[in-house]
Amino acid sequence: MLRAVILCLSGLLLLALTSCEQGEKASGIIRSSLEDMQRESLPGAELTRQKCSTCHYLDRNITKVGPPLKGIVGHAPTISGVPFAVWDEKSLNRWLQDPTGIKPGTLMAIPGIKSATERTAIIEYLKQF
């Protein structure tokens, strides 16, 4: 009899633990999808997709045409020939404005983003990865 009670109680405990775990998992998923939604509603999201995603992955550590941009803000350049110790707002701003001016012959041969507002929005978005 006692054994049956113990079995029953441990069964209940197990049940409670699993459902609690699932609850946590579910709220984790909800939280991360909320973060995704917030990130994707930033003004730089669409701009970055248009102007950078053809050549760069943001969410994967894989080289496309150019190196991955995951974690790039605050990171040292992985490319050679740029006069920066770290990719921060200032250096990224300069690079995005005129990559070929900074590194003649770079394969990132885009015309450069002339609008300061657009550059800031893109950098703000890059910080999310």
Q: Could you tell me the smallest distance in angstroms from the CB atom of residue 40 to ligand HEC?
A: 17
Site for ligand HEC contains 110 (CB under 6 A): yes
- Compute the CA torsion angle 14, 15, 21, 26 (nearest 10 deg): 170
Q: Which residue in the set 19, 22, 78, 117 belongs to the binding site for ligand HEC (CB under 6 A)? A: 78
74 DSSP 8-state letter: T
**Dist. CA 88–CA 91, nearest whole Å:** 5
Segment lying near ligand HEC (by CB under 6 A), choices 9-17, 25-33, 34-42, 100-108: 100-108
Binding mask 33-72 for ligand HEC (x = CB under 6 A): ------------------xx-xxx--------xxx-x--x
Work out whether the CA dihedral 7, 8, 11, 12 comes out positive or negative: negative
